[in-house]
C-alpha cells in the first residue's frame, strides 16, 4: 500500500503539493494550482496546506528516491604553458 509523504525532491515550500501529486500520480503543478485557487477564493486553501504540512510526514531516509548526480572530470595539463616556459629560458 502506497503511503502519503511530503516530497524531498520536488518541493516549493514544504513538499505537500508534490507529495499529494505523487500519491495520486498527477503533475504537481495541478495540485499547486488547486491550492492557489482555493487560497484566492477564500475557502481555506491556506489552512488546508498548513494542516497538511503539519500532519503529512517526510519520507524515511531509506525511502528517499532522490538521485544525486556527481560529475567527474579529467583535468589534462595545458601544454601551452610548457612551450612559453621553454621560450622564456
Per the structure, the count of domains in the chain is 1
CB neighbours of 77 closer than 8 A, spacing ≥ 6?
none
So what's the pLDDT on residue 76? 74
**Contact in structure between 4 and 31 (CB atoms under 8 Å):** no
Handedness of CA 25, 28, 33, 36 (dihedral sign): positive
Q: What grid cell was written down for 29? A: 503543478
Has residue 28 got a pLDDT over 60?
yes
Taken in order 31, 33, 37, 39, the sign of the CA dihedral is positive
pTM of the model: 0.60
**Backbone φ and ψ of 76, nearest 5°:** -100, 140
Overall average pLDDT of the 11-38 stretch: 89
Q: Would you say residue 3 lies in a domain?
A: no
**Considering the domain boundaries, does residue 83 fall inside one?**
yes
Highest mean pLDDT among 34-48, 53-67, 73-87: 34-48
Q: Domain range for residue 34?
A: 16-88
Tell whether 45 is covered by a domain. Answer: yes
Q: Is the pLDDT of residue 84 over 70?
A: no
**To the nearest whole number, what is the mean pLDDT of the chain?**
79
**Residue 7 placed within a domain:** no
Amino acid at each position: 500500500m502506497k503511503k502519503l509523504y511530503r516530497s524531498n525532491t520536488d518541493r516549493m515550500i514544504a513538499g505537500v503539493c508534490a507529495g499529494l501529486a505523487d500519491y495520486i500520480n498527477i503533475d504537481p503543478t495541478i495540485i499547486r494550482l488547486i491550492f492557489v485557487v482555493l487560497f484566492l477564493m477564500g475557502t481555506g486553501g491556506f489552512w488546508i496546506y498548513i494542516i497538511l504540512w503539519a500532519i503529512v510526514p517526510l519520507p524515511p531516509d531509506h525511502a528517499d528516491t532522490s538521485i544525486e548526480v556527481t560529475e567527474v572530470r579529467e583535468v589534462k595539463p595545458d601544454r601551452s604553458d610548457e612551450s612559453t616556459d621553454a621560450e622564456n629560458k
